A and B are shown apart, each in its own frame.
Chain A
Amino acid sequence: MSFKEFHSTIKNLKHIRQFAEQELLKNSVPQNIINEIKIVIGEATANIYKYGYLKDEDVKNKILAKVLVVNDEIEIHLFDNGVKVDKSMVKPRDLSEVISNQVKLDLTLLENS
């Protein structure tokens, strides 16, 4: 498992994607799969930046990214301490509509108690 902490800035959104890409390449994940995963990571981290930290680039606002590859399973964990997600606003969507059949995706939202 590899992990890296980033200051939540608009410039670092790209660096988080690049970190994940490098880690997945080290684990011989095919580039076409990586490209799809980068889209997911990009949208998730942009949401953390916009809605979690409200675009506030205070140095205390961090995003921790973890990448874990075991056999044919990839786990990406993104942690932040921003505004909690209002679960009533989350509209479930059939992810098979937006992800290719090469990637099976599970998305879990966790919150600190």
Chain B
Amino acid sequence: MSYPENIENDTLIISVNGDVDLENSDNLREQVSKALEANTAVSLNMSEVSYIDSSGVAALIESKQKAEEGGKDFKIIKPSESVISVLQMAKLDAFFIIEN
């Protein structure tokens, strides 16, 4: 399973939706990894994410690290309440570049 993608202003936007948990966090990690190889800027639109667990957060952290290693831009845009509350709980809201 892969999430929908589109390009806006030279940024690949991946629209993540539903639950991001142990079942599909590897898919997200792989999709972002491939996207970062082919694009200079990748953003995750997380407005339609209803739940995210620690495996999903780990995928986000690894994606950001991979982007930094490659000199790429990585952002989270429009995070849902579920996403932002988990990032705040994990004290990671300042770790990511987040655009609302």
Contact = CB atoms under 8 A, between A and B. Distances in A.
B97 interface: no
A14 B53 contact: no
B99 to A, nearest CB: 23
A7 interface: no
B53 A49 contact: no
A46 B53 contact: yes
Given A17-B51, A35-B82, A42 B89 contact: no
Contacts of A17: 51
B48 interface: no
A96 to B, nearest CB: 12
B69 interface: no
A111 B81 CA distance: 36
A38 B51 contact: yes
Interface centre among B21, B22, B90 (most CB of A within 10 A): B22
B22 A49 contact: yes
A36 B89 CA distance: 10
23 contacts: A10-B22, A10-B23, A13-B22, A13-B23, A14-B19, A14-B21, A17-B51, A35-B81, A35-B85, A39-B53, A39-B86, A39-B89, A42-B21, A42-B53, A43-B54, A46-B21, A46-B22, A46-B54, A46-B55, A49-B22, A50-B22, A98-B89, A98-B90
Interface of A: 10-11, 13-14, 17, 35-36, 38-39, 42-43, 46, 49-50, 98
